[in-house]
Amino acid sequence: MNKGLRLLFFGNYFVGFLAIAFNLEASAQLHMPHNSLQYYALLFMLPIVYYTYAYQHQSIDPVKADPRSRWYAKHRQFIQYSQAIMIGLSAIISVDLFVTYANRLLHLPLISWIFLAVILITATLYYGLLPGALNLRNVGWLKAFVIGFVWACCANLAPMMMTHIETGNAYPDAVLWVFLFVKNWMFCTVNAIMFDVKDYPSDANVQLKTFVVRFGLRRTIFFILMPLLAIGLFALICFALYRGLLPLQILINCIPFLLMIYVVYTMRKRHSLVYYLILIDGALLVKAICGIVAMSFAK
């Protein structure tokens, strides 16, 4: 990998672009206007800060560490400056948004505050940041579902709440929203399980019971990942037909599932870290792009 790709993927900056892409997809699918630039800037920086936290505070053995961990060890000072700058900018933008939309924030529906509290608590417990609290990263079978849930909230709940705050308008197509939320939750959970394949040796050494450690590589591929993707693809087609989508729209929305099935099948053999980062994370970007493109063909 050249320096640019290392910075993009190792430094988690690609994750920031994914968050924006997921929000743009949700806005297109729910027929909502785009949000403010301040919101998208905040959306770009917060996932980077969140994901980088784990690598920033880990102890790294330069002999046994993977290329990504060695990259963090080599660029530790840059990461510290980057984190500090993004945290500072995020705080400034958050205060600006709060001051601008304070009245609408205070009048958000109770269910929105409940969802927001659940997201914050889940994201906090994922790193075990609360004193004496459970560290969800150490619960192997739950880890992938937690990651998928947080990403689904980022993809579907965040843009809907922000649109309501910025415009004062609610978008109450509950059936469509619930389906998109569950679809993103499932898709991102499968993506997280696929990443556990990358960490299989280290997870097995520390007895972290992820799906791959519990069932083995081939069983995870053929009895967990493949069935989940097949069910998701079938549900997508059924829901698309129910909503009266055009055949071309259905075909475009099926592309990410077909791509993920292919990627899962290729994971029968071990691959490099670059493969997992680019192809697996890239599948999420393809999903968002396909969702946006499909909506451009709407009736």
Report which DSSP code applies to 168. S
Mean predicted lDDT score pLDDT of the chain:
85
Q: What stretches of the chain show up as alpha helix (H) in DSSP?
A: 3-5, 13-29, 37-56, 67-74, 76-100, 102-106, 110-126, 140-152, 158-167, 174-198, 200-205, 211-215, 217-220, 226-243, 247-266, 273-275, 281-295
Question: What is the predicted pLDDT for the residue at 63?
Answer: 60
Instruction: Please name the fold of domain 3-295.
Output: Farnesyl Diphosphate Synthase (1.10.600)
| The pLDDT of residue 83 is above 90 | yes
Which of 18-32, 42-56, 211-225, 275-289 is predicted least confidently?
211-225
Question: What is the predicted pLDDT for the residue at 95?
Answer: 95
Structure tokens at 7: 């910075």
| The pLDDT of residue 147 is above 90 | no
- pLDDT, greater one: 82 or 127: 82
| The pLDDT of residue 289 is above 90 | yes
Structure tokens at 70: 């060695």
- The CA-atom distances, in angstroms, between 109 and each of 104, 115, 156, 170, 181 are 10, 10, 16, 10, 19
The closest alpha carbon to 155, from 33, 26, 28, 17, belongs to 26
CB burial of residue 66 (10 Å; 0-12, 13-18, 19+): middle
The closest alpha carbon to 76, from 55, 46, 51, belongs to 55
Question: What is the predicted pLDDT for the residue at 34?
Answer: 92
The rounded distance, in Å, linking the Cα atoms of 257 and 294 is: 14
Mean pLDDT of 83-102: 94
| The pLDDT of residue 273 is above 80 | no
Q: Are 138 and 208 in contact (CB under 8 A)?
A: yes
- Annotated domain spans of the chain: 3-295
Percent of the chain with pLDDT strictly greater than 90: 37
The rounded distance, in Å, linking the Cα atoms of 61 and 111 is: 45
Single-letter amino acid code for the residue at 216: G
Structure tokens at 188: 């991102």
Q: Are 112 and 162 in contact (CB under 8 A)?
A: no
Single-letter amino acid code for the residue at 67: P
- The CA-atom distances, in angstroms, between 83 and each of 12, 40, 51, 174, 237 are 11, 17, 11, 37, 42
Structure tokens at 67: 């290329």
**Residue count (the chain):** 299
Which of 1-15, 20-34, 50-64, 88-102 is predicted least confidently?
50-64
Tens digits of residue pLDDT in 194-246:
887 776 666 555 556 677 777 788 888 888 899 989 999 999 999 999 888 89
